[in-house]
Amino acid sequence: MKSEEEQLTEAARRRKRVNLYKRIIVIFIAAMIVLPTILCIILFFKLNSLSKEVKGLKSDLSQYVSMADSKEEQEVVNNNTKPSETDKPTDVSETRNQDSNASQKPEETQTTGNNTASQTEIIQNETEPAAEQAASEQTVSEQEAVQAAVKAGRKVVYLTFDDGPGKNTAALLDVLKKYDVKVTFFVNGYTGFEDELNRIIEEGHTLAMHTYSHRYEVVYGSLDSFINEVVTLQDYLTDVTGIKPVLFRFPGGSSNEQTNIPISTFTEYLDEVGITYFDWNVSSGDGSNNITTESVYNNVMNGVAQNDVSIVLMHDSPDKSATFNAVPKIIESLQEMDALILPITSDTEPVHHNVK
């Protein structure tokens, strides 16, 4: 009897022990699954924040690199040359351009911008102070470089491309890279070219504003409408690149006759918000229809010959193949004559058309 009881107790103990082992094994297995999962989640967030940081640092770096480049090339000058009548773009081409681009517009873009908005604010906060500091350093050196070049009899040339980004932009960037030339892009708010916008900055060019839609009746309809065109584009470019653009060119130039509102109404607003605008004193003439590659080349080279410092107007819109084809030859000629080719910065002496 007793031994039977003992046997039963022994069996009960064994069961208990087995159950305990089972529990331990289950807990162990559960831990093996849960711990790595938690680790993965932690690492995922860590990775995310690191990529944001890297993106911010990359923007910083490209700013510094472009600054260092222009310092090496040395230095800057004042340019008060007045534009001649022929420097102005034809209204026809600007209008045509506006029409051909009318399909890709602001509404689409808003969505793209919002998706990355919070991320960009973080990047923005990290990069702004550095960018400002670098910009102020460059002010001195760009002015010195320009002055030194002019004194030495060299031409100083700022090549500028309006109305992009578009389907030619990537190829244009390749050409500029090949010749190691930095230029200025005055862009509109066309979506689908985010890579090109980032390349412009990463490769040391200046990304500047040319209004969101480029549609004269919208841009120049009222001051409110103009402000909206500027702010929407500025926000969009900041969202895409992490860098806030502060340079601007009026569609048609500041001497355009597309508005009944005095242009000073708009320039005063730009002043208030710290945006600098640039016209041009050399036109490639590519605003006209059916211009040839040769004419674009001749217009640019003749214009450059007449100025110590030239701000050259060209277009980077999809239908400007004459300009695109002329660019390599223009750069080769400028480099042969040892011209100093620079991107526009906040320190560049602006060229302004007649403002009333």
Residues contributing to the site for Zn ion (CB under 5 A): 162-163, 251
| 163 vs 319 by CB, closer to Zn ion | 163
**Buried/exposed code over 130-143 (b: 16+ C-beta within 10 A; e: otherwise):** bbeebbeebeebbb
Alpha-helical (H) ranges within the chain are 2-73, 91-100, 106-151, 169-179, 194-202, 216-219, 223-241, 263-272, 293-305, 321-336
Nearest-angstrom CA–CA distance, 183 and 166? 16
Amino acid residing at 327:
V
- The single residue of 239, 315, 319, 347 carrying the catalytic annotation is 315
Among 314, 251, 208, 237, residue whose Cα is nearest residue 99:
251
Least separation in angstroms between residue 165's CB and Zn ion is 13
| 120 vs 317 by CB, closer to Zn ion | 317
Backbone angles phi, psi at 207, to 5 degrees: -100, 115
Least separation in angstroms between residue 319's CB and Zn ion is 13
- The single residue of 60, 87, 162, 279 carrying the catalytic annotation is 162
DSSP 186: E
DSSP 351: P
Nearest-angstrom CA–CA distance, 240 and 235? 9
Least separation in angstroms between residue 302's CB and Zn ion is 22
| 76 vs 351 by CB, closer to Zn ion | 351
> Catalytic residue at 162?
yes
| 163 vs 196 by CB, closer to Zn ion | 163
| 127 vs 186 by CB, closer to Zn ion | 186
DSSP 349: P
Least separation in angstroms between residue 260's CB and Zn ion is 20
CA dihedral 79, 353, 263, 208 (to 10 degrees): -60
Least separation in angstroms between residue 315's CB and Zn ion is 7
For residue 159, list its beta bridge partners: 312
Residue of minimal Cβ distance to Zn ion: 162
Structure tokens that stand for 131 in this block: 């960018």
Least separation in angstroms between residue 138's CB and Zn ion is 26
| 77 vs 270 by CB, closer to Zn ion | 270
Q: Which sequence positions are flagged as catalytic?
A: 162, 315
